[in-house]
């Protein structure tokens, strides 16, 4: 679920950037890559002269945590299931272009892309339930203070690149195979015998 949704963002951003820049960024049509920026110094990875999307953090959306375990279906039957888990993802967008002027322009173009494209939808090709599943996520800018930025790049073990962080909201996790039908309560019999007093 996490990979398909972030990969959809990467694919659309890549198409947008290639449309604007062509192959002038790095000589290929792969401008945007979903990868771990901490691996930039690894010789096996070619993360230079690209826009790298890195998942920084996953958090649960606590405001949607306390939903009930029973649900009424349109057929008036009752089903029982564990509540769905809703996650927010924090996505680092870093530009590793060596030419600093071009790196800042790529960052500006990325910000413009997300200003216009705030909602992403798609299908999950390998759903764990075997059923057709889809996602709908929104992307919003996440403000980060100087200390957090310094700590982040220190933890990633890399020199700082022109970058920005986005919050990807409400990725839903729900296993439909675990839903159980339960009998509905249709009548209630209350009998009060005054002789028991």
Buried b (16+ CB within 10 A) or exposed e, 110-121: beebbeeeeebe
Phi (first) and psi of residue 154, to 5 degrees: -65, -45
Give how many domains the chain has, as a whole number: 1
Give per-residue pLDDT as tens, 120-143: 988 876 655 555 678 889 999 999
What 152-157 contacts at long range (C-beta under 8 Å, 24+ apart), as own/partner pairs, is 152/56, 152/92, 156/37, 156/38, 156/54, 157/38, 157/41
Is 196 part of any domain?
no
Query: Which carries the bigger pLDDT value, residue 113 or residue 86?
Result: 113
pLDDT for the residue numbered 140:
95
Please give the residue range of the domain that contains residue 87. Answer: 2-174
Q: In the numeric block, which tokens belong to residue 41?
A: 């110094």
Buried b (16+ CB within 10 A) or exposed e, 22-55: eeebbeeeebbbbbebbbbeeeeeebebbbbbbb
Predicted confidence band of residue 183 (pLDDT cuts 50, 70, 90): low
Give per-residue pLDDT as tens, 149-162: 999 999 998 789 99
Is 105 part of any domain?
yes
Question: In the β-sheet with 119-124, what is the strand arrangement from edge to edge?
Answer: 32-34, 51-60, 85-95, 163-173, 133-141, 119-124
Is 185 part of any domain?
no
Place of tokens 């909602």: 119
Contact 153/50 with Cβ under 8 angstroms? Answer: no
Is 190 part of any domain?
no
Give per-residue pLDDT as tens, 30-88: 999 999 999 998 877 789 999 999 999 999 888 766 666 656 666 666 666 677 788 99
Is 47 part of any domain?
yes
Stated pTM of the model: 0.80
Is 179 part of any domain?
no
pLDDT for the residue numbered 185:
59
pLDDT of 165 above 60: yes
190's CB contacts (< 8 A; 6+ apart) are: none
Is 146 part of any domain?
yes
For 13, 37, 73, 104, the CA distances from 26, given in Å and listed in that order, are: 16, 17, 53, 15
Is 40 part of any domain?
yes
């Amino acid at each position: 679920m996490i990979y398909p949704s972030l990969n959809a963002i990467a694919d659309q951003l890549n198409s947008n950037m290639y449309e604007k820049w062509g192959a002038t960024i790095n000589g290929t049509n792969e401008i945007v890559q979903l990868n771990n920026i901490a691996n930039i110094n690894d010789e096996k990875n070619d993360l230079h002269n690209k826009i790298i999307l890195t998942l920084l953090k996953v958090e649960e959306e606590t405001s949607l945590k306390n939903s009930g375990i029973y649900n009424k279906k349109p057929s008036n039957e009752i089903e029982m299931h564990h509540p769905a888990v809703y996650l927010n993802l924090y996505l680092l967008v870093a530009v590793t272009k060596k030419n600093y002027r071009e790196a800042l322009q790529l960052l500006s173009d990325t910000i413009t892309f997300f200003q216009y494209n705030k909602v992403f939808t798609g299908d999950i090709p390998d759903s764990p339930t075997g059923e057709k599943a889809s996602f709908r996520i929104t992307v919003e800018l996440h403000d980060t203070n100087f200390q957090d930025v310094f700590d982040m790049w220190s933890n990633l073990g890399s020199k700082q690149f022109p970058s920005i962080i986005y919050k990807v909201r409400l990725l839903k996790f729900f296993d439909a195979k675990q839903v159980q039908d339960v009998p509905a309560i249709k009548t209630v019999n209350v009998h009060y015998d005054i002789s028991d007093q």
